C-alpha cells in the first residue's frame, strides 16, 4: 500500500481453516488474477469426517507449491498478504497463517490476519457477484458446517451479532442425518441430491424456534427427531422412503432458516439486503426459501455462487482488501491463530467498533 485506504498492488489470500487448501491473487479492484483450491474430501471420506492431524499435514504438503503456482499464473508480486487466522482447526490455521506471515516478513509486506467468518460475510461484495454491490449495512446469514449466525454487517471490522445457533450448525446436522441415511461423506450435497427425489411433506418434523422472539437457531432437536423416526421404523428403508425423509429434513432446515431470517430483517430496517453465505448457502432449497422471505419483506437477497460459498481463498484476499481500503494498515504479524474467534470482534489488535449482541 502507498497510503491508508490506497492499495497499490495485488492481494494474496491463503485459506487453510479446515479441509480445503486454497490460495488466490486479486488485483486492487478485487478481480481474480489467479486462484487454486485443493479439497481433501478423498483423504477424509474413509473416516466419515475431517481428521484434524491429517488435514494439517495435507496443508503443509500442498500450500507452498500452490502459492508459488498462483503467483506465477497471476504474473504479479503481491502488495498485501492475508491468511485465515481463525476460527477453524488449529493445526491448519497455524500452517496457513505462519506461511503467510513468513512471506510477508520476507517481502516486507503488510500481513492481514483474516477472520474466516468476516470473509464469508464480505464475499457478496466481490466484483461480479451482485449488481449493484450490497452496500453497508446489510444483514448476513452465515450458514455452514460449523457456524450459523445472523449478523448486521456495518463494514469491515464492524458486525453486530443478532442471533446464533444454540447447539448444532445446519451443515453439521446435514452431515449427521446423511450418515443416518447411509449416504457418503460429505453429507450435505449427497442429502440434497437424494432429497430431490422425495416429498418434503412426507415426514412430519419439528421447526425449532419458529415464531419465537429473537433470531437464535436450534438444530439438535430436528436431528434427534430424524433419529427417533428411523428407530421407530425398525427396518431398512426403501429408496423412496429415504428420499422422503431427506426432503422433509431439508425442508425443515430451510423453513427454520427462513423464519429466523425474517425475524432478523424486522430488527434491522436499515438493511436493504440479505446476504447469505457459507457452505449450506449452496443448497438450492435453502436459497429459494431465503429469497422468498427477502422478497416478502421488501428486501433483496444476495448469495455468492456456490464455489464462493464454501471455503476459498478469494474471499480471504477480498476481506483484506476491504480492510485495507477502510484504512486498516494490516499490522497483524503478532496475531496468533485461534480455533474460536467471534465475528463480533474480528480484530484481535483492538476492540471492534461494535461488540456483542444488541
- Residue 345 forms part of a structural domain: no
- Residue 352 forms part of a structural domain: no
pLDDT for the residue 262? 97
149, 294: one domain: yes
| Among 84, 106, 104, 105, residue whose Cα is nearest residue 94 | 84
Instruction: State the residue range of the domain holding 247.
Output: 138-303
154, 299: one domain: yes
The dihedral over CA atoms of 282, 135, 149, 251, expressed in degrees to the nearest 10, equals -40
- Residue 24 forms part of a structural domain: yes
CATH number at residue 299: 3.30.420.40
94, 189: one domain: no
92, 229: one domain: no
216, 318: one domain: no
110, 225: one domain: no
147, 253: one domain: yes
317, 224: one domain: no
Cβ contacts of residue 226 below 8 Å, gap of 6+?
177, 180, 205, 245, 249
SS3 content of the chain, % helix, strand, coil (to 5): 40, 20, 40
Detail the DSSP E strand segments found in the chain: 11-15, 20-26, 32-39, 80-86, 111-115, 138-143, 148-155, 158-164, 273-277, 300-302
pLDDT for the residue 3? 54
What φ, ψ does residue 293 adopt, rounded to 5°?
-65, -45
- Residue 272 forms part of a structural domain: yes
How confident is the prediction along the chain (358 residues), in pLDDT tens digits per residue? Answer: 445 578 989 999 999 999 999 999 999 999 999 999 999 888 888 888 899 999 999 999 999 999 999 999 999 999 999 999 999 999 999 999 999 999 999 999 999 999 999 999 999 999 999 999 999 999 999 999 889 999 999 999 999 999 999 999 999 999 999 999 999 988 999 999 999 999 999 999 999 888 888 999 999 999 999 999 999 988 889 999 999 999 999 999 999 999 999 999 999 999 999 999 999 999 999 999 999 999 999 999 999 999 999 999 999 999 999 999 999 999 899 999 999 998 887 666 543 333 344 3
172, 109: one domain: no
- Residue 4 forms part of a structural domain: no
- Residue 6 forms part of a structural domain: no
Amino acid at each position: 500500500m502507498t497510503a491508508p485506504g490506497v492499495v497499490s498492488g495485488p492481494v494474496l489470500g491463503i485459506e487453510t481453516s479446515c479441509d480445503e487448501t486454497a490460495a488466490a491473487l486479486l488485483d486492487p479492484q478485487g478481480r481474480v488474477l489467479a486462484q487454486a483450491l485443493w479439497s481433501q474430501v478423498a483423504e477424509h471420506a474413509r473416516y466419515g469426517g475431517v481428521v484434524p492431524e491429517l488435514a494439517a499435514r495435507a496443508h503443509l504438503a500442498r500450500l507452498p507449491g500452490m502459492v508459488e503456482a498462483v503467483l506465477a499464473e497471476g504474473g504479479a508480486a503481491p502488495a498485501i498478504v492475508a491468511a485465515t487466522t481463525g476460527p477453524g482447526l488449529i493445526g491448519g490455521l497455524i500452517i496457513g497463517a505462519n506461511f503467510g506471515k513468513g512471506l510477508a516478513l520476507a517481502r516486507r509486506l503488510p500481513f492481514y490476519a483474516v477472520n474466516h467468518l468476516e470473509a464469508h460475510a464480505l464475499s457478496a461484495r466481490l466484483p461480479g457477484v451482485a449488481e449493484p454491490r450490497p452496500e453497508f449495512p446489510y444483514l448476513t446469514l452465515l450458514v455452514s458446517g460449523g457456524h450459523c449466525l445472523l449478523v448486521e454487517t456495518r463494514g469491515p471490522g464492524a458486525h453486530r451479532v443478532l442471533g446464533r445457533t444454540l447447539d448444532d450448525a445446519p451443515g453439521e446436522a446435514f452431515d449427521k442425518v446423511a450418515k443416518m441415511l447411509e449416504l457418503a461423506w460429505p453429507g450435505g450435497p449427497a442429502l440434497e441430491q437424494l432429497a430431490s427425489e422425495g416429498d418434503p411433506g412426507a415426514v412430519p418434523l419439528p421447526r425449532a424456534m419458529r415464531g419465537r422472539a429473537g433470531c437464535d437457531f436450534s438444530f439438535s432437536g430436528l436431528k434427534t427427531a430424524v433419529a427417533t423416526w428411523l428407530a421407530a421404523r425398525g427396518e431398512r428403508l426403501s429408496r423412496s422412503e429415504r428420499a422422503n425423509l431427506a426432503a422433509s429434513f431439508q425442508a425443515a432446515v430451510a423453513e427454520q432458516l427462513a423464519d429466523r431470517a425474517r425475524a432478523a430483517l424486522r430488527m434491522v430496517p436499515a438493511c436493504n439486503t440479505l446476504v447469505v453465505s457459507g457452505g449450506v448457502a449452496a443448497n438450492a432449497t435453502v436459497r429459494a426459501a431465503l429469497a422468498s422471505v427477502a422478497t416478502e419483506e421488501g428486501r433483496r437477497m444476495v448469495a455468492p455462487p456456490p464455489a464462493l460459498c464454501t471455503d476459498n481463498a478469494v474471499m480471504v484476499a477480498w476481506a483484506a482488501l476491504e480492510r485495507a481500503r477502510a484504512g486498516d494498515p494490516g499490522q497483524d504479524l503478532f496475531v496468533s491463530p485461534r480455533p474460536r474467534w467471534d465475528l463480533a470482534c474480528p480484530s484481535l489488535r483492538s476492540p471492534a467498533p461494535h461488540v456483542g449482541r444488541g
